[in-house]
């Protein structure tokens, strides 16, 4: 019997066109999943067909498959009831389980078959011509099979079981879809919160799709593992798979048991009111009188009033449904969770300022709006037909456009209600977190700005449903369109003129508002709104009342409507669309050259091909910089004159100068030669010097530069100025000479694609030529050798209501011609890095010895100004004592808008600092890590590491600049807050390092050879120097650094390398730390420490004897991650801890903590302690690099 | 007066839904009788502006319905076959909504209209009850209430009594009877008694063609003295059907009773009966069948 049901339903499914449409859609995704289209991407540098990459991708596919599982599993279970023939089946002498399981098996088989096909296509997909063969490993059938059985089967069992249960209990396909969407949303929320949870094991176990478990099982994998290692099914992954697959089966069984073969609705509902009995047979009590005659009068405004009423009626119809309220509630809950989750930066809380709350809202609201819009567009358009009421409404004297227009308004209002609820949640969150500066106007402005694209999407959804006239096909089309729209970038389409709803991104900042981006954003939005309304009008024209008609007739009717009744709106919207589109085209394509992302990359490749040869062209060195900078933020105008004093350090004369300026600027004039050739694409001018520069000769050259206001581009305003809070960095303003290595493509995969030779991430540490190029702090891979140390002088002017800042002492300030002028001069030589800032800030001044400390913050963001000053003072104190005196007379910290970036940067005596980084951090909770203090100290440390001492632009250069800044700030932190606070930070650094090494494009280098690999020179750098300081002593290490500075500060070329630094360290540390130094800096060392046994015996004197058995292993990894074991011989801490019942690790008491040299794989130790021991540990504070930190500690089992 | 001329419609699958239909329908109740699939609903939908004919014209008091659909809709009340409602909305709210769609945009006036109609159809007491909880009869009464919104000059009701119990059916027909004095009311049905009870004029249609149009009593008079009845044994049925022009066969107490059309007594055991509309209906359907055969 079951077999019969199975076969029958399988035939039904295989005959349905919807099945094949789904198969086609997903197979297409699978085939193209490999590369740029669809769910592309991989992990770091791993191959496209690495086992983990396949498993991860398929795990995501199963998540999306929920929607077709509903089609294949729930639909067959509910079909009979929908068609009203269920009773025909249930009155037959069959077993319920045969019926249900047969149908379930049919649907489930189709799902499994589809996934088998998808896996096959994925395997085929990596060999498609568009996939770079170098990034594809050897095919391994086993990894596809593994994925099928370990990922697909349990996931599908869980999903299909859940969906079948939902279908069986609710007996409504609508409820099933609502359930799926709710689950999807909850899963999204759990994903967002998952990373905040401390117990990652639990998180891994609780992900129904196994993604988190895969993550946990491969948490610290490196490249070599990804490409070669096959996944094994054990531990948390096995538990996860068994749990969720098993849950699926359990749900299926429950469904079969609980499925009622009675008619739906005959059982007592839980909450439904019983109907009043008397009314069902309401008898006429009075003989009806004759009908009163009311005749409506039709006026021109009747249609408008009808439209308003219908809009209201439809809106109420949407917002009162339980599904809508559920989406709303889940969206609000998710927003709350996101607010909680994002409310932390480096472990510090944030003040929930409105601009931040809006940013979080914008990040998460899309999903819910899209779900609501897509779902309700179908519901609304098919509402009358589903209720069998369409013939009545169609025969009413209403305009043809009424249904679509009113339904569009309803959908838009539903979106607005959705968004408004987010505003309420945001306000509530702010109030509960003690932030009571309510800014409703910001919510209104910000959320209206964000909701615009969804208004357009509402139109699209309505139009699609109105044209298709089949709810489910409409959904499918919408999903397809949305997927296409969001993969436009990956498909190489980035022109916002042709991506539906495309617009430059816009973000709000308390300092700058929406700034110069507002106008372009609104222009694009207006253009797409016009387009949408045109679409809506056309859909309304093709809207046929009553009985459906053939396509040809429908087009005829639409054509007539467009020519007659709808001529005006069609013409109007089309005109607006063309007009705005033309204006945008003029701006983005004629005023500016439009380049897609791919074209931009091509251009960079071309730059390298054309000009790489000029790398060796002798160019002068700059020895003094003098800039007259005129900024007009309000008028958005920028004019400046740069005067360089240059000298020729080469053996031959220089007769040709290659001047590069930011392509957003125009080089108006030079006073030293004639421009022989220009290449506007790169901002390159080749200047023939009027007088060649002889070897050793100096000259003063002037450059006139200007930013010509030119409307906007595809990505919004291109202006270098902001309305408030301009941060114009010298690298974006000043002309540079010769070949610009910054312009090169760095991504090895992209280089392969463009046929460029491999580029070493950095010059080898021994390439002496590169020792002459300085590496400058905080500037990425900047390899400019235009200057070594320069004199810096600038006069900067700005609008009268703003203050202009630049590095150096303020020599003079004055007003002239309605502008404010500031003259800054840096005393002494400095690196060429500078910035000009202009804005309206609140200034707080303080003093440390003879150094002026000034903090420029937005008037709303003055929370941490005192903290910054304090951190600056203690940093200056520590560094000037431990290393060398501070070289400037001032230290300014300046807030810049968050839209510029999320970083702080040390420039000579001035630290631009991002709005959301530090300025809105809430550091009142003393138990948490003080992020503001840390960042400030780090940037102050760069005044030494980066500005006193510049390293050579070779491997390990960043260790000198960044690792030493990390070390310096950690020492200041330790001094202020004590050792205990460091642990939280170091644990995060350890985790970031271990994860970073698995996700790197480049081979991992030892710390001393780090090649712009942040996880090495920041995260590992902190760990290495912190451990070194503990082993050799902070003072000894500082002595080494002091000597290093004394030898190399303000010096170069050649600039020092990490080799020189290590020489100084070795000299102070002595031979007993030789192995440690080599392990930390010159090798990739991994420890594997754990406690294998911990027992305690109570002694007669009341004390405890604790016996510990530990295992310690060590290995060295090569750059690809292959590990070679090596004998362990290290100093490690061994500890015994007590803990009050129920207390956490933070409150533990140290009973014993000793440093021991561990030189064997297993060691047994005995301690005698005074109190009842709770836990023991080897390296209990995780100072060593150990992938599994948890097993470093073990609870003590008592023997008594 | 509703005048339908030369109305034809052929569906894409080749079915002639309407085949040169000509009807003159004066004010008052007009019954449209026909078996399932006769084209009644196609005709109704066409008159209700929901479907376009291939050819022909429809005039309502001189108004060209097909050319000026908006004007026609303003004078139209339509209760389609298989009429549904939003189950989660109450009757007052939904009728209010329909009232707006019918052109009552003034709030005060609309409230009066809705109240008056709900009282007429005796749903005023349950106006706050969700429509999902309505019985079939209540829903049909709600249906007629919405069809009467705006005092239409043409009311079309398509198979309104199907599925109603006798009491509800009576109540519904009473309601209709009150309406049908000054306006054109077309009642499409396959239940002969509906027409007998209510309609001064009628038409019989089959396969898209009008077989008869006129007053029921004239049609009945034409069959006077021609309808014969006999109670048979089950075994005799097949033979009788072959021998006589059987109009209808029905079971009375388990025995077949046949009506036969004949100018003379067809056989022993037949008794003459007064013809009714059902006999007329079957006689037309059968004559057609014979012609077709």
Map out the domains of chain B as residue ranges.
Answer: 2-216, 221-292
Inter-chain residue contact A275 with B133, CB threshold 8 Å: yes
B147, B175 Cβ separation under 8 angstroms: no
Q: What is the pLDDT of residue A931?
A: 86
Model confidence at A197: pLDDT above 80: no
pLDDT per residue as tens digits for the range A818-837: 999 999 999 888 887 899 99
The range of the structural domain enclosing residue A1122 comes to 1083-1200
When pLDDT is cut at 50, 70 and 90, the band that residue A172 belongs to is confident
Inter-chain residue contact A546 with B178, CB threshold 8 Å: no
B127 touches chain A (CB under 8 A): no
Domain membership of residue A443 (yes or no) is: yes
**Nearest residue on chain B to A551, judged by CA atoms?**
B12
pLDDT per residue as tens digits for the range A711-728: 899 989 889 999 999 999
Shortest Cα distance from B149 to chain A (angstroms)?
8
Report, as an integer, the average pLDDT of B34-38: 87
Domain boundary among A258, A291, A322: A258
**Nearest residue on chain B to A320, judged by CA atoms?**
B88
Please indicate, yes or no, whether residues A17 and A94 belong to a single structural domain of this protein.
Answer: yes
CA dihedral A571, A573, A574, A575 (to 10 degrees): 80
Inter-chain residue contact B113 with A294, CB threshold 8 Å: yes
A263, A270 Cβ separation under 8 angstroms: no
Domain membership of residue A766 (yes or no) is: no
Structural domain count of chain A? 4
Encoded tokens for B23: 């009807």
A vs B, Cβ pairs < 8 A, gives 136
Q: What is the pLDDT of residue A271?
A: 46
d(CA A776, CA A945): 9
Inter-chain residue contact B80 with A305, CB threshold 8 Å: no
Q: What is the pLDDT of residue A263?
A: 55
A531, A463 Cβ separation under 8 angstroms: no
Model confidence at A1021: pLDDT above 90: yes
Q: What is the pLDDT of residue B189?
A: 87
Domain boundary among A258, A275, A290: A258
When pLDDT is cut at 50, 70 and 90, the band that residue A851 belongs to is very high
Question: What percentage of chain A reaches a pLDDT higher than 90?
Answer: 53
Please indicate, yes or no, whether residues A586 and A627 belong to a single structural domain of this protein.
Answer: no
User: Which positions in chain A touch B88 (Cβ < 8 Å)?
Assistant: 320
Report, as an integer, the average pLDDT of A640-658: 94
Mean pLDDT over each residue of chain A, to the nearest integer: 87
CA dihedral A459, A460, A462, A465 (to 10 degrees): 170
Q: Which of B71, B105, B168 should one mutate to test binding to chain A, selecting the residue with the greatest count of A CBs within 10 A? A: B105
Question: CATH code for B2-216?
Answer: 3.40.50.300
pLDDT per residue as tens digits for the range A305-362: 999 999 999 999 998 887 788 778 878 877 887 787 776 666 667 888 998 899 888 8
Q: What is the pLDDT of residue A776?
A: 65
d(CA A1038, CA A508): 43
Please indicate, yes or no, whether residues A586 and A634 belong to a single structural domain of this protein.
Answer: no
Domain membership of residue A994 (yes or no) is: no
Backbone angles phi, psi at A653, to 5 degrees: -70, 155
Q: What angle do CA A757, A760, A765 make, to 5 degrees?
A: 150
Q: What angle do CA A742, A747, A751 make, to 5 degrees?
A: 95
Cis peptide before A1053 (omega within 30 of 0): yes
Domain membership of residue A961 (yes or no) is: no
Model confidence at A779: pLDDT above 50: no
Report, as an integer, the average pLDDT of A536-552: 90
pLDDT per residue as tens digits for the range A229-264: 778 888 889 999 999 999 999 999 999 988 877 655
Model confidence at A275: pLDDT above 60: no
Encoded tokens for A578: 């063309």
User: Which positions in chain B touch A317 (Cβ < 8 Å)?
Assistant: 86, 89
pLDDT per residue as tens digits for the range A975-1013: 998 887 788 788 889 988 988 887 777 789 999 999 888
Q: What is the pLDDT of residue A178?
A: 81
Type and span of the H or E element at A625: strand A621-632
Inter-chain residue contact B125 with A282, CB threshold 8 Å: yes
Model confidence at B249: pLDDT above 50: yes
Question: Angle formed by the axes of helices A2-15 and A17-32, to 10°?
Answer: 70
pLDDT per residue as tens digits for the range A1023-1071: 999 999 999 999 999 999 999 999 999 987 899 999 999 999 999 999 9
Q: What is the pLDDT of residue A547?
A: 86
Which of B26, B134, B37 lies closest to B81, judged by CA?
B37
User: Which positions in chain B touch A391 (Cβ < 8 Å)?
Assistant: 45, 48, 50, 78, 80, 83
Domain membership of residue A990 (yes or no) is: no
Domain membership of residue A435 (yes or no) is: yes
Place of tokens 């991708």: A57
Domain membership of residue A802 (yes or no) is: yes
User: Which positions in chain A touch B148 (Cβ < 8 Å)?
Assistant: 291
Please indicate, yes or no, whether residues A221 and A325 belong to a single structural domain of this protein.
Answer: no
Shortest Cα distance from B218 to chain A (angstroms)?
30
Higher-pLDDT residue of A783 and A430 is: A430
When pLDDT is cut at 50, 70 and 90, the band that residue A784 belongs to is low
Please indicate, yes or no, whether residues A384 and A458 belong to a single structural domain of this protein.
Answer: yes
Burial A926-943 (b: 16+ CB within 10 A, else e): eebbbbbbbbbbbbbbbb
User: Which positions in chain B touch A385 (Cβ < 8 Å)?
Assistant: none
When pLDDT is cut at 50, 70 and 90, the band that residue B180 belongs to is confident
Inter-chain residue contact A291 with B150, CB threshold 8 Å: no
Question: Angle formed by the axes of helices A153-170 and A51-64, to 10°?
Answer: 10
Bridge partner list, A1136: A1152, A1176
d(CA A372, CA B118): 36
B85 touches chain A (CB under 8 A): yes
A1129, A1074 Cβ separation under 8 angstroms: no
Q: What is the pLDDT of residue A262?
A: 61
B219, B188 Cβ separation under 8 angstroms: no
Please indicate, yes or no, whether residues A546 and A665 belong to a single structural domain of this protein.
Answer: no
Question: Angle formed by the axes of helices A518-541 and A402-432, to 10°?
Answer: 150
Type and span of the H or E element at A823: strand A819-825
Burial A255-289 (b: 16+ CB within 10 A, else e): bbeebeeeeeeeeeeeeeeeeeeeeeebeeeeeee
Please indicate, yes or no, whether residues A556 and A661 belong to a single structural domain of this protein.
Answer: no
Inter-chain residue contact B129 with A301, CB threshold 8 Å: no
d(CA A679, CA A657): 14
When pLDDT is cut at 50, 70 and 90, the band that residue B96 belongs to is very high
For chain B, how big is the Rg over CA atoms in Å? 21
Bridge partner list, A517: none
Residues whose CB falls within 8 Å of the CB of residue A194, separated by 6 or more in sequence, listed in order? A203, A207, A212
Inter-chain residue contact B70 with A397, CB threshold 8 Å: yes
Please indicate, yes or no, whether residues A75 and A180 belong to a single structural domain of this protein.
Answer: yes
Please indicate, yes or no, whether residues A925 and A815 belong to a single structural domain of this protein.
Answer: yes
CB atoms near residue A873 (< 10 Å): 18
The DSSP annotation for B134-176 comes to --HHHHHHHHHHHHTTT--SEEEEESTTTT--HHHHHHHHHHH
Of the given ranges (A191-200, A431-440, B97-106), which has the lowest mean pLDDT?
A191-200
Encoded tokens for A1074: 């030789």
Report, as an integer, the average pLDDT of B270-278: 89
Cis peptide before A1054 (omega within 30 of 0): yes
Burial A646-655 (b: 16+ CB within 10 A, else e): bbbbeeeebe
Write down the H helix ranges in chain B. Answer: 40-47, 69-74, 91-101, 107-120, 136-147, 166-179, 192-198, 216-222, 237-243, 277-292
Prediction pTM value: 0.82
Encoded tokens for B286: 């059968």
The DSSP annotation for A713-769 comes to BTTB---S--SS-EEEEHHHHS-EES--GGGS---HHHHHHTTPPP--SSB-TT-GG
Inter-chain residue contact B125 with A292, CB threshold 8 Å: no
Encoded tokens for A1164: 């047994």
Inter-chain residue contact A387 with B87, CB threshold 8 Å: yes
- Dihedral sign of CA atoms A556, A561, A562, A564 in order: positive
Model confidence at A1123: pLDDT above 50: yes
Q: Roughly how many angstroms between the first and final C-alpha of chain B, as a whole number?
A: 36
The DSSP annotation for A886-940 comes to ---SEEEEEEE-GGG-S-B--BTTEEEEETTTTTTEE---TTS--HHHHHHHHHH
Bridge partner list, A1153: A1135
pLDDT per residue as tens digits for the range A32-70: 765 443 344 455 566 778 888 888 888 878 887 887 788
Higher-pLDDT residue of A323 and A470 is: A470
B6, B54 Cβ separation under 8 angstroms: no
Q: What is the pLDDT of residue A195?
A: 59
A417, A327 Cβ separation under 8 angstroms: no
């Amino acid at each position: 019997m079951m077999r019969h049901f199975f076969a029958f339903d399988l035939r039904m499914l295989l005959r349905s066109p919807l099945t094949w449409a789904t198969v086609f859609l997903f197979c297409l995704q699978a085939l193209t999943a490999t590369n740029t289209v669809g769910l592309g991407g991989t992990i770091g540098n791993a191959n496209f067909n690495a086992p983990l990459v396949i498993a991860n991708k398929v795990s995501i596919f199963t998540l999306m498959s929920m929607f077709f599982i509903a089609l294949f599993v729930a639909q067959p279970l509910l079909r009979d009831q929908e068609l009203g023939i269920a009773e025909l089946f249930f009155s037959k002498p069959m077993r319920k389980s045969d019926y249900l399981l047969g149908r379930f098996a049919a649907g489930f088989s189709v799902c499994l078959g589809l996934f088998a096909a998808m896996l096959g296509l994925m395997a085929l997909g990596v060999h498609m011509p568009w996939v770079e063969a170098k990034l594809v490993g050897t095919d391994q059938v086993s990894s596809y099979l593994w994925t099928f059985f370990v990922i697909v089967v349990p996931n599908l069992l869980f999903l299909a079981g859940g969906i079948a249960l939902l279908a069986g209990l609710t007996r409504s396909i609508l409820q099933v879809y609502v359930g799926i969407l709710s689950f999807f949303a909850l899963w999204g929320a759990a994903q967002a919160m998952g990373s905040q949870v401390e117990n990652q094991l639990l998180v891994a176990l609780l992900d129904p799709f196994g993604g988190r478990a895969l993550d946990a099982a491969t948490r610290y994998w490196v490249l070599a593992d990804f490409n070669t290692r096959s996944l094994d099914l054990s531990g948390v992954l096995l538990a996860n798979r068994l749990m969720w697959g098993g849950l699926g089966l359990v749900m299926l069984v429950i469904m079969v048991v609980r499925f009622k073969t009675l008619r739906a609705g005959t059982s007592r509902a839980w909450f439904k009111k019983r109907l009043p009995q008397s009314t069902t047979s309401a008898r006429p009590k009075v003989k009806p009188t004759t009908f009163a005659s009311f005749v409506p009068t039709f006026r021109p405004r009747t249609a408008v009033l009808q439209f308003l009423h219908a809009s209201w009626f439809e809106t109420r119809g949407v917002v009162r449904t339980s599904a809508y309220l559920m989406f709303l509630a889940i969206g609000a809950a998710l927003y709350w969770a996101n607010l909680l989750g994002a409310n932390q930066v480096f472990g510090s809380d944030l003040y929930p300022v409105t601009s931040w709350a809006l940013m979080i809202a914008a990040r998460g609201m899309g999903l819910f709006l899209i779900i609501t819009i897509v779902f309700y567009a179908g519901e609304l358009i098919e509402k009358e037909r589903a209720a069998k009421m369409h013939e009545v409404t169609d025969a009413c004297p209403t305009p043809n456009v009424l249904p679509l227009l009113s339904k569009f308004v309803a959908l838009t209002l539903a979106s607005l209600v959705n968004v408004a609820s987010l505003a309420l949640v945001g306000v509530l969150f702010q109030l509960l977190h003690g932030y009571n500066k309510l800014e409703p106007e910001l919510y209104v402005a910000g959320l209206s700005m964000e909701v615009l694209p969804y208004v357009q999407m509402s139109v699209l959804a309505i139009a699609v449903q109105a044209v298709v006239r089949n709810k489910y096909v409409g959904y499918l089309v919408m999903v397809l369109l949305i997927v296409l729209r969001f993969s436009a970038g990956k498909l190489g389409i980035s022109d916002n003129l042709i991506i539906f709803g495309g617009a430059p991104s816009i973000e709000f900042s308390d300092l700058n508002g929406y700034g110069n981006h507002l106008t372009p954003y609104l222009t694009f939005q207006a253009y797409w709104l016009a387009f949408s309304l045109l679409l809506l009008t056309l859909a309304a024209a093709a809207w046929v009342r009553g009985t459906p008609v053939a396509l040809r007739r429908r087009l005829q009717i639409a054509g007539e409507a467009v020519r007659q009744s709808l001529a005006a709106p069609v013409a109007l919207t089309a005109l607006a669309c063309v007009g705005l589109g033309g204006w945008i085209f003029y701006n983005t394509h004629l005023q500016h050259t439009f380049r897609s992302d791919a074209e931009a990359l091509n251009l960079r490749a071309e730059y390298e091909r054309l000009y790489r040869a000029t790398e060796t062209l002798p160019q002068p060195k700059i020895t003094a910089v003098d800039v007259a900078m005129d900024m007009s933020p309000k008028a958005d105008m920028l004019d400046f004159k740069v005067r360089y004093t240059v000298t020729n350090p080469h053996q031959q004369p220089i007769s040709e100068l290659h001047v590069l300026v930011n392509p957003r600027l125009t080089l108006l004039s030079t006073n030293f030669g004639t421009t022989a050739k220009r290449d506007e694409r790169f901002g390159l001018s080749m200047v023939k010097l009027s007088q060649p520069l002889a070897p050793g000769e100096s000259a003063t050259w002037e450059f006139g530069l200007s930013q010509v206001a030119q409307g906007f581009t595809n990505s919004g305003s291109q202006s270098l100025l902001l309305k408030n809070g301009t941060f114009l960095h010298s690298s974006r303003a000043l002309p540079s000479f010769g070949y610009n290595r910054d312009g090169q493509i760095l991504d090895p995969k992209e280089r392969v694609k463009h046929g460029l030779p491999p580029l070493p991430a950095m010059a080898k540490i021994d390439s002496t030529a590169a020792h002459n190029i300085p590496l400058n702090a905080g500037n990425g891979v900047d390899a400019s050798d235009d200057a070594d140390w320069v004199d810096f002088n600038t006069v900067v002017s700005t609008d009268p209501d703003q203050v202009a800042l630049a590095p150096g002492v303020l020599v003079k300030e004055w007003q002239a011609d309605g502008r404010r002028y500031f003259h800054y001069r840096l005393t002494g030589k400095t690196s060429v890095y500078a910035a000009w800032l202009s804005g309206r800030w609140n200034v707080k001044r303080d003093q440390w010895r003879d150094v002026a400390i000034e903090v420029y913050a937005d008037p709303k963001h003055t929370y941490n100004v005192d903290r910054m000053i304090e951190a600056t003072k203690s940093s200056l104190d520590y560094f000037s004592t431990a290393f060398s005196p501070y070289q400037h007379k001032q230290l300014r910290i300046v807030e810049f808008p968050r839209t510029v970036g999320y970083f702080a940067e040390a420039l000579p005596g001035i630290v631009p600092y991002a709005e959301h980084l530090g300025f809105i951090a809430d550091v009142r909770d003393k138990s948490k890590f003080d992020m503001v203090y840390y960042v400030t100290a780090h940037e102050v440390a760069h005044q030494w590491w980066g500005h006193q001492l510049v390293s050579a632009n070779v491997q390990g250069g960043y260790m000198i600049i960044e690792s030493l800044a990390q070390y310096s700030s950690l020492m200041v932190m330790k001094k202020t807050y004590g050792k205990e606070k460091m642990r939280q930070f170091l644990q995060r650094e350890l985790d970031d390092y271990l994860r970073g090494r698995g996700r790197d494009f480049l081979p991992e280098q030892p710390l001393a050879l780090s090649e712009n690999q942040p996880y090495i020179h920041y995260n590992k750098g902190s760990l290495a120097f912190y451990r070194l300081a503990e082993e050799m002593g902070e003072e000894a290490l500082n002595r080494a650094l002091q000597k290093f500075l004394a030898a190399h500060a303000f010096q170069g070329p050649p600039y020092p390398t990490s080799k020189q630094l290590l020489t100084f360290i070795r000299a102070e540390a002595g031979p007993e730390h030789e192995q440690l130094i080599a392990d930390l800096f010159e090798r990739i060392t991994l420890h594997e420490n754990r406690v294998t046994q911990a027992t305690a015996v109570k002694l007669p004197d009341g004390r405890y004897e604790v016996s510990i058995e530990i295992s310690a292993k060590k290995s060295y990894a090569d750059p690809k991650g292959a590990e070679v074991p090596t004998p362990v011989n290290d100093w490690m801490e061994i500890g015994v801890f007590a803990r009050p019942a129920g207390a956490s690790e933070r409150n533990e008491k140290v009973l014993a903590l000793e440093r021991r040299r561990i030189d064997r794989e297993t060691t047994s130790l005995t301690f005698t302690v005074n109190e009842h021991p709770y836990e023991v540990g080897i390296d209990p504070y995780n100072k060593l690099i150990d992938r599994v930190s948890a097993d470093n500690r073990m609870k003590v089992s008592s023997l008594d | 007066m509703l005048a339908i001329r030369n109305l034809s419609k052929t569906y894409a699958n080749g079915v002639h839904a309407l085949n040169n239909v000509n009807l003159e329908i004066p004010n008052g109740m007009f019954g449209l009788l026909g078996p399932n699939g006769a084209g009644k609903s196609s005709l109704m939908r066409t008159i209700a502006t929901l479907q376009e004919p291939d050819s022909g014209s429809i005039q309502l008091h001189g108004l060209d319905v097909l050319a000026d659909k908006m004007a026609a809709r303003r004078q139209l009340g339509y209760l389609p076959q298989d009429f549904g409602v939003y189950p989660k909305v109450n009757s007052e709210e939904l009728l209010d909504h329909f009232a707006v769609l019918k052109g009552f945009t003034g709030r005060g006036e609309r409230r009066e209209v809705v109240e008056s109609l709900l009282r007429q159809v005796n749903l005023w007491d349950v106006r706050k009850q969700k429509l999902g909880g309505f019985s079939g009869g209540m829903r049909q009464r709600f249906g007629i209430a919405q069809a009467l919104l705006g005092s239409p000059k043409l009311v079309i009701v398509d198979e309104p009594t199907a599925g109603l119990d006798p009491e509800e059916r009576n109540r519904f027909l009473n309601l209709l009877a009150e309406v049908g004095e000054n306006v054109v009311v077309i009642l499409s049905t396959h239940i002969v008694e509906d027409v007998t009870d209510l309609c001064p004029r009628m038409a019989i249609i089959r396969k898209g063609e009008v077989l008869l149009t006129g007053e029921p009593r004239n049609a009945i008079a034409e069959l006077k003295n021609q309808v014969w009845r006999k109670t048979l044994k089950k075994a005799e049925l097949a033979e009788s059907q072959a021998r006589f022009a059987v109009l209808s066969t029905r079971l009375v107490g388990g025995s077949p009773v046949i009506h036969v059309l004949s100018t003379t007594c067809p056989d022993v055991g037949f008794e003459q009966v007064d013809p009714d509309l059902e006999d007329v209906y079957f006689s037309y359907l059968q004559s057609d069948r014979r012609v077709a055969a």
